[in-house]
Amino acid sequence: MANKPLTTTVIGSFPKPSYLPIEDWFDGARTDGGMNTERVTKEFTQYIEKKSDSDEHLFVRAAKEVINLQIDAGIDIPTDGEVRRENYI
């Protein structure tokens, strides 16, 4: 039987680029002093209520960057890095 290489993928979220209109929840938790911060979720809710269609290109750009990083690292099944998500509950 021939050796088959191990297929690789990733799970979880990549850090969000600073140019996205939403903050990375983990960054908010670090600056607000802990994981119980509500600020980032509240800001995300406000963003969703007033978001602009013109922001879409930023999310597409971020997803492409994350996917390309994974491909460059040899990941077989890349993900979008959950760049559109604010929380992980």
Tens digit of each residue's pLDDT (9 = 90 or more) over 30-82: 676 666 667 777 877 787 788 778 889 999 999 999 999 999 999 999 999 99
Task: Specify the pLDDT at position 22.
Answer: 80
Residue 1 has pLDDT above 60, yes or no: no
Dihedrals φ, ψ of 9, to 5°?
-145, -175
Token pair for residue 73? Answer: 């690292």
Dihedrals φ, ψ of 77, to 5°?
-125, 90
Q: How many residues does the chain have?
A: 89
Task: Specify the pLDDT at position 37.
Answer: 67
Q: How far apart are CA 20 and CA 55, in angstroms?
A: 8
